[in-house]
Amino acid sequence: MSVKPPTGHGRVRLIEIAGVDLQPCGGTHVASLAEIGPLAVEKIESKGKRNRRVVVALAAP
């Protein structure tokens, strides 16, 4: 992980993209990709030595 998980009470969810990234996250997310359907990684941008921006495209309903 490039970001240290926050300390304190409660559980912190870890978001993993297999082979790409593992990060702590406190935001709202779907439980699985089955909830939103197929997606495609459009590009991965470098935003510093240890930071990346992943751009994804979702299929239209």
CA distance 23 to 53: 13
Cβ neighbours of residue 21 under 8 Å, at least 6 residues apart?
A: 15, 52, 54
Q: What is the pLDDT of residue 42?
A: 92
Q: What is the pLDDT of residue 40?
A: 87
pLDDT in tens, 9-44: 677 778 788 887 887 776 667 778 788 888 888 999
